[in-house]
Structure 1
C-alpha cells in the first residue's frame, strides 16, 4: 500500500486593508515605484514624465517668489499624503506649510493644504473625481488638475465647485497662497 502525502495548501497572505498594512507590504517589495492605496486597492502611480518637466519647473519657479516660500512653506513633488487609515495618495505636487513640515520631524503624518495633479492619458474621469474627493475628505482646500493637452487648469475648491482656467485667464492659489498666480498661456508657451 502506497501512502501519498496530501499537499498542504499554502496560506496566501491577505491583501492589505489599511495604510499601515499597505506600508508594511510595500517595505518588503523592494521598489522605488510610487503607489497609492485606496480602501484595499494598491494603485501603481507612474512617475512624472519628462514631458511634464516644463510644468513643474514653471510652477516651482513661480512659487519660490511667494511670501509663503519666504516663511518656510514649500511646494514639493510626489510625497506621500495621508487621507485616513484607509487611503494614501501621492499628488504630483503638494503644498505643505512650515508647521506641517516641522511636524514630520516627530513622525506626524500630514496632508497638504493644496495639491496639484497633472492629468495623464491613463486617468479616467472617475479616477480624477475619486482623487479630488479623497483630497477634500482629508482637508485639502484647493486642488488643481492640469490638463496639458487642453492647456487648461481645473481648479477645485470643493469636490463640486470647479473653475476652468485657460488662455489669458489668471489662475490663483488664493486663499491658500494668495501671491501664487500666473496667466495660463504663460505656463503653456513654447
Structure 2
C-alpha cells in the first residue's frame, strides 16, 4: 500500500518526470518512488538483511582512488533515464563531475547501478529496470541475488555474466579498482 496524505490520491495523468516531481513537492508522502512512463512505482526501502551487502560494497568502494577523487557509491538516489523515466537503484555510482552537475540542478543517470534482488521483484521488473538503466547511458548493472549468493553483472540489457563463490567480480570499466571475491560479500 502506498502511503500518501489522506486528502491526496496518486495521480494517473502525469506523463513526465517534471510533472511527477512537481506533484511530489506539492503532496508530501512517505517513501520513495520510481516514475516510468506515467506509472508511479513504490520503491521499498532497503531491508535490514540487505544492509550488510550495501555496507560491504560501500566499504570496498571507499578503498578506491575514485572515492579519494570525490566519486561516491550512494544508497537509493535518483537516476534519471530521460524525461519520462526515473529509477532509484539500491546503490548508484556518482562521479565527481556528476556531483557538480547535480549541484547546478542538472539531472544525471548513473554509470553503474547496483540492485539487490527482492522477493517481490518479477523477472519482468528486472528486465524493465535493466532496459531503463542502459537506455539512460548506464554502462554496468549488478543484480545481486542474496539467496543464491550470486552477482549478475550486466554490460547491456542482453549480456550478463554470473559470479559466485571465489569468482572475482570487477566493476570495470566504470570502477576498475572495485573488485572482490563474491564469497567475501556473503561471509558471516
Same fold at TM > 0.5? yes
Divergent runs of 4+, >2 A: none
8 Å Cα contact 2:12-2:38 kept in structure 1: no
| CA offset digits 1:4-30 (Å, max 9, x no partner) | xxxxxxxxx752111111111222221
Partner of 2:148: 150
Partner of 1:3: none
3-state secondary structure, aligned to 2:163: strand
Among candidates 88, 92, 116, match of residue 114 of structure 2: 116
Segments of 5+ residues of structure 2 without an aligned counterpart are 1-10
Segments of 5+ residues of structure 1 without an aligned counterpart are 1-12
TM-score norm. by structure 1 comes to 0.92
Count of paired positions: 178
TM-score norm. by structure 2 comes to 0.92
| CA offset digits 1:28-83 (Å, max 9, x no partner) | 22123100000111000100011111001100000000011011111001111110
**Rg (Cα) greater in structure:** 1
| CA offset digits 1:140-171 (Å, max 9, x no partner) | 00000000000000000001110000011001
Give me the CA root mean square deviation. Answer: 0.9
3-state secondary structure, aligned to 2:144: strand
Q: Which moved more, 1:23-32 or 1:105-114?
A: 23-32
Q: Which moved more, 1:18-27 or 1:52-61?
A: 18-27
Partner of 1:69: 67
